[in-house]
């Protein structure tokens, strides 16, 4: 058990809709990152938030956005859903400080876009 | 940009036997971490083993060990005494030690190797 929970576990949306995925990090973790895992692929980095500010981003368009809150929760928002957005979305939290920063993953949200 | 390559889409091993999963990576950085993650059907990423690039000694965790060849940019995972519970997707991953605004970098994953364990 990593102490990182994601909701919902499964979600079905229609092309063009908007979706919000949620992640609850371990208490004390100041960093959260989101990954997209398409079927049969390894996870790809979407973006990272550190102390409520985005401080790193992968090769994803602006319609992918996020928020990180002081209570160790965070959100991934995707606007104008496309069929290719169908994937498993994983969040991972960590404490950024000194030394190695261990990542703790949630079990993901499986998003299907029809 | 860094890349991670896993050339074995699927591997199979007999229970109690040993199997080795391969991984190569490309980077121009000198300070980084390498990982092997296990992803069972529950979908959660489970850290199997970690290697710091500056350490010459290969990491070991119980039945899991790595062969880290820094010059060759190779990082293989050996699973000894394979158990049925080892069946899963295994991902090799790279992470820069210096990433965003003081945090360490994001994980860069390979495409994974599906490991089957035969009883």
pLDDT at B105: 79
- Cross-chain residue pair B101–A56, CB shorter than 8 Å: yes
Q: Which two tokens stand for residue B96?
A: 């820069």
Phi, psi of B85 (to 5 degrees): -70, -5
Answer whether A7 touches B (CB < 8 Å): no
The CA–CA distances, whole Å, from B92 to A43, A91, A96, B18, B27 equal 11, 18, 22, 18, 14
Residues in chain B closer than 8 A to A91 (CB atoms): none
Tokens of A2: 């990593």
CA distance B78 to B36: 11
Cβ-contact A24, A2 below 8 angstroms: no
Q: Enumerate the residues of chain A whose CB falls inside 8 A of the CB of residue B43.
A: 88, 90, 107-108, 110
Q: For chain B, which residues lie within 8 Å of any Cβ of chain A, measuring from their own Cβ?
A: 4, 33, 42-47, 50, 52, 91, 93, 99-112
Q: CA B4, CA B27: separation in Å to the nearest integer?
A: 9
Measured over the CA atoms of residue B86, residue B89, residue B92 and residue B98, the dihedral's sign is negative
At A26 the pLDDT is 85
**pLDDT tens digits for range B55-112:** 989 999 999 999 999 999 999 999 999 999 999 999 999 999 877 665 677 899 999 9
Summarised one tens digit per residue, pLDDT across range B10-68 is 999 999 999 999 999 999 998 899 999 999 998 989 999 999 999 989 999 999 999 99
What residues are paired with B12 via a beta bridge? B116
To the nearest whole angstrom, how far is the Cα of B52 from the nearest Cα of chain A?
9
pLDDT per residue, tens digit, chain A (114 aa), is 678 999 999 999 999 999 999 999 988 888 999 999 999 999 999 999 988 999 899 999 999 999 999 988 999 999 999 999 999 999 999 887 766 788 999 999 999 999
C-alpha distances in angstroms, B107 versus A35, A85, A104, A105, B11? 9, 20, 12, 12, 23
pLDDT of residue B103: 65
pLDDT at B1: 85
Write down the pLDDT at residue A30: 87
Write down the pLDDT at residue B100: 65
């Amino acid at each position: 058990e990593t102490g990182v929970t994601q909701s919902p576990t499964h979600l079905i949306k229609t092309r063009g809709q908007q979706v919000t995925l949620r992640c609850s990090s371990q208490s004390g973790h100041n960093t959260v990152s989101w990954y997209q895992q398409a079927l049969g692929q390894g996870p790809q980095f979407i973006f990272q938030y550190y102390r409520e500010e985005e401080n790193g981003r992968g090769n994803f368009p602006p319609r992918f956005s996020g928020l990180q809150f002081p209570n160790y929760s965070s959100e991934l928002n995707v606007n104008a859903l496309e069929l290719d957005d169908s994937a498993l979305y994983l969040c991972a939290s960590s404490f950024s400080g000194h030394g190695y920063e261990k990542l703790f993953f949630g079990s993901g949200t499986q998003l299907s876009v029809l | 940009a860094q890349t991670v390559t896993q050339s074995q889409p699927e591997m199979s091993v007999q229970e109690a036997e040993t199997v080795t999963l391969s991984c190569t990576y490309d980077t121009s950085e000198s300070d980084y971490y390498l990982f092997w993650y296990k992803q069972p059907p529950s979908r959660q990423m489970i850290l199997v083993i970690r290697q710091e690039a500056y350490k010459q000694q290969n990491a070991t965790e119980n039945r899991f060990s790595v062969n880290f060849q820094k010059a060759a940019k190779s990082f293989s995972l050996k699973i000894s005494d394979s158990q049925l519970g080892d069946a899963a997707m295994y991902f090799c991953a790279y992470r820069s030690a210096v990433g965003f605004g003081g945090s360490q970098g994001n994980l860069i994953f390979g495409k994974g190797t599906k490991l089957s364990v035969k009883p």
